[in-house]
Amino acid sequence: MKVWIDGSVVDGAAARVPVTDHGLLYGDGLFEGIRIYGGRVFRLELHLARLAAGARAIGLTLPATAEQLREIVCETALAFGQREAYVRLLVTRGEGPLGVDPTPCRTPRVVCIVDAISLYPPEIRARGLDLATVSLRRPPADVLDPRVKSLNYLNSVLARLEAKRRGADEALILNLAGQIAEASVANVFVVRDGALATPSASDGALEGITRRSVLEIAARLGLRAAERSIGRADVFAADEVFLTGTGARIAAVRSLDGAAIGAGAPGPIVRRIDAAFTELVQEPAMGTAF
């Protein structure tokens, strides 16, 4: 692991954040999870744009320009030295006194982590994930807007914990209306009669970069795709279900709450999507070389 912090790149074990940083104390900050494929940072510009939008939404002034953040990511990736890796770019509110008031925090802190990642073991990916519908609900946008990728991920942490305790690989999180929002750290797609559907931000879904790429891939492949509300009944009626995310990449789902989905194994559409995504990430226009 390599970490850019306070102006230099260090080994992960040497990286330190003061205990008075409000990112640690209150989850006050933002992050982007980014992938490196084939020596290029995948869709970095989209990630930086989302980070900037999130900063405006929470009243945080980014301490670096987009060009400077791009250089930080590339410098850290180069130090890590692997052609396949995961990037975690964080911006915290910075150090301040105890108390939730963010105004005394004068200097936001940038941290960039580059390391390997494997969200689901290969054997689980090969046979498909088992999901469990968890009891926790995704808060609505007037509580915590899902379009803001904040450091407050306790909702997702507890959802994953509940799913694992129930013997599942991943959580399915509903919103207060009982519609599907997301998995704990991934977007959800259902496939029925060759058409794709995925929840929108209004249902509690993050506007994921991999999700966006899959919607673009569907158009390339001539597959119908739509953002709309999806319920558990849609999952049980689906021919295929899969998850997308920077860490998850494309992950087929084989069951929900013990009931098999479709054939109970990765299907032809998800295999086509996965193959097309593998090709997409190698396109020079999709990545930033370092």
Measured CA to CA, the distance from residue 22 to residue 80 in angstroms comes to: 28
pLDDT at 92: 98
Mean pLDDT of 33-37: 97
Any residues with CB less than 8 A from the CB of 174 and at least 6 apart, and which? 133, 137, 138, 180, 181, 232
- Determine the pLDDT at residue 205: 95
> Are 114 and 2 a contacting pair, CB within 8 Å?
yes
Q: Can you tell me the mean pLDDT for 277-284? A: 95
Give 95-107 pLDDT, tens digit per residue. 999 999 999 999 9
Dist CA 55 CA 108 (whole Å): 11
Q: pLDDT at residue 118 above 90? A: no
**Could you tell me whether strands 85-92 and 249-256 are parallel, antiparallel, or unpaired per DSSP bridges?**
unpaired
pLDDT tens-digit map of 41-94: 999 999 999 999 999 999 999 999 999 999 999 999 999 999 999 999 999 999
Domains along the chain with CATH numbers: 2-115 (3.30.470.10), 122-280 (3.20.10.10)
Among residues 274, 281, 276, the alpha carbon closest in space to that of 44 is found at 281
CB proximity list for 2: less than 8 A, separation 6 or greater: 9, 10, 11, 12, 76, 79, 80, 113, 114, 115
pLDDT tier at 119 (50, 70, 90 boundaries)? confident
Terminal CA-to-CA distance of the chain, rounded, Å? 17
Share of the chain above pLDDT 90, in %: 97
pLDDT per residue as tens digits for the range 229-240: 999 999 999 999
**Which 3-state string (H, E, C) describes the chain?**
CEEEECCEEEEHHHCCCCCCEHHHHHCCEEEEEEEEECCEEECHHHHHHHHHHHHHHCCCCCCCCHHHHHHHHHHHHHHHCCCCEEEEEEEECCECCCCCCCCCCCCCEEEEEEECCCCCCHHHHHHCEEEEEEEEEECCCCCCCCCCCECCCHHHHHHHHHHHHCCCCEEEEEECCCCEEEECCCEEEEEECCEEEECCHHHCCCCCHHHHHHHHHHHHHCCCEEECCCCHHHHHHCCEEEEEECCCEEEEEEEECCEECCCCCCCHHHHHHHHHHHHHCCCHHHEEEC
Position 244 scores a pLDDT of 98
Q: Is the dihedral of CA 235, 238, 240, 243 positive or negative?
A: negative
Q: What percent of the chain has pLDDT over 70?
A: 100
Average pLDDT of the chain to the nearest whole number = 96
Q: What's the pLDDT tens digit per position in 130-182?
A: 999 999 999 998 998 989 999 999 999 999 999 999 999 999 999 999 999 99
